[in-house]
Amino acid sequence: MSDSKIKEAPVVDRQTQPLLTHEKSLSRKIASGSEAENILDQQLAMLGIQLITQLNVLIKTSYIYDRTNSALDKPVAAMLTLIKALAHDHPVTLRLQNDFLFLGDSHLKVSAQQMAVATSIIDTLNDWKIGGVTFSLAAESKDLREFAALFVNFDHNTKTLGDLRDEIAGRGISGIELEDPRQLAIKELSGTDGGMGSDSANLQQKRKMKAKNGYANVAGSIGSMTQSVREGGTVTFKQAKRAIQNIVDLMMDDEATVLGLTTLRCHDEYTHNHSVNVSLLSMALANRAGYPKVELADLGLAALFHDMGKSTIPMEVLNKPGEFTDDDWVAMRN
């Protein structure tokens, strides 16, 4: 590798700066379906999560500070770095469809810990009825600052997406474009008009929010208990029982929304997400089989802790990438 491609990385704040970059022309050099492509896809997905995180920070900060304030420097710099990495070959679009986020056409799978940030961006885009935000290399610091200021100062209750687009063009904001909302066509029979009224839509939105919060609570409870077991502390099932009971109530009303949460994935929190997903699917199957509510909760709780034995295995063994030694196998079997 030539010296021209090696640059000294500045010391940066890990909380605001992107953790990953990729060689700019890499996507054109690798074979489709190869292991390298899978690695690239994983990196792009992580960059996508960072993009929504920094966009959320930028918007939240703009509610407090003026566009010229230095408090915006870090999120703006992080956004520009991410856009430079993601939009090198073509503009990158953060899309929203049916309350799921996509980077281009790739679904961004968020963990329970990332759900609050993702939900904040989803709610913001839904408020404005925005289907996607496209960033190109033409975007500069002033464009991001102006866009964020416009975003937080415009009232989505009195202004439309068209008004927002006109204002973006009028202020000369470059490198940022807004897409119309994208919705999956689902026919719902309700009343005489066969459509979904505003009351039904609001109820559905509330159910989705409750389901997301319920999932996060269940994942949080399994994480807390796992940590408690590792540290030799006292294990209590109260939080988990309460969270599971809430999920059962939601499932009785809207099974589809609850099952939609099983798309959540995160490698670092795989065991937690996997345990919650197994619990949800077990309860859904039992619900279809006609199990009563009390037994659904018992089954969900049992399924939630089916992997609890892993909590006694040392992390260096559990996450070991290579083959196990004899001692490792002893630790696993014990």
Q: Which two tokens stand for residue 310?
A: 């892993």
Cα–Cα distance for residue pair 77/15, rounded to 1 Å: 12
The residue type found at 48 is G
Q: By the 8 A CB rule, do 79 and 51 touch?
A: yes
At residue 140, φ and ψ (nearest 5 deg) are -120, 180
Between residues 25 and 255, the one the model is more confident about: 255
pLDDT digits (tens, 9 = 90+) for 311-320: 677 777 777 7
Largest CA distance in the chain: 71
pLDDT at 105 over 50: yes
By CB atoms closer than 10 A (0-12, 13-18, 19+), residue 247 is buried
Instruction: Give Cα separations from 15 to 18, 19, 75, 103 (angstroms).
Output: 8, 9, 10, 21
| Among 86-90, 124-128, 132-136, the range of highest mean pLDDT | 132-136
Rounded to the nearest integer, the mean pLDDT of the chain is: 77
Q: Which of 8-17, 112-121, 144-153, 234-243 has the lowest mean pLDDT?
A: 8-17
pLDDT digits (tens, 9 = 90+) for 38-76: 676 788 889 999 999 999 999 999 999 999 999 999 999
pLDDT category of residue 168 using cuts at 50, 70 and 90: very high
Smallest Cα–Cα separation from 310: which of 279, 281, 276, 272? Answer: 272
Q: By the 8 A CB rule, do 128 and 164 touch?
A: yes
Smallest Cα–Cα separation from 131: which of 89, 87, 83, 179? Answer: 179
- 225 Cβ partners below 8 Å, 6+ apart? 235, 236, 237, 240, 305, 308, 311
pLDDT at 11 over 80: no
CA atoms within 13 A on the CB side of 54: 28
Q: Identify the pLDDT of residue 136.
A: 96
Instruction: Give Cα separations from 132 to 96, 97, 121, 241 (angstroms).
Output: 6, 9, 11, 38
At residue 92, φ and ψ (nearest 5 deg) are -105, 140
pLDDT at 26 over 70: no
Query: Distance of alpha carbon 98 from its chain centroid, rounded?
Result: 14
Whether CATH 1.10.3210.10 fits 198-333: yes
Q: By the 8 A CB rule, do 273 and 264 touch?
A: yes
Supply the DSSP symbol for 259. H
Domain ranges of the chain: 12-179, 198-333
pLDDT category of residue 12 using cuts at 50, 70 and 90: very low
Question: Residue 102 forms beta bridges with which residues?
Answer: 95, 107
pLDDT digits (tens, 9 = 90+) for 193-234: 444 456 666 777 777 777 777 777 777 777 777 777 767 776
Cα–Cα distance for residue pair 73/142, rounded to 1 Å: 11
Q: By the 8 A CB rule, do 130 and 179 touch?
A: yes
Smallest Cα–Cα separation from 40: which of 51, 24, 53, 54? Answer: 24
Q: What percent of the chain has pLDDT over 90?
A: 28
Q: By the 8 A CB rule, do 108 and 102 touch?
A: yes
Give the 3-state secondary structure of residue 109. coil
Q: Identify the pLDDT of residue 187.
A: 38
Between residues 332 and 62, the one the model is more confident about: 62
Cα–Cα distance for residue pair 142/31, rounded to 1 Å: 38
Q: Identify the pLDDT of residue 317.
A: 77
pLDDT at 14 over 60: no
At residue 190, φ and ψ (nearest 5 deg) are -150, 115
Q: Which two tokens stand for residue 50?
A: 């960072």
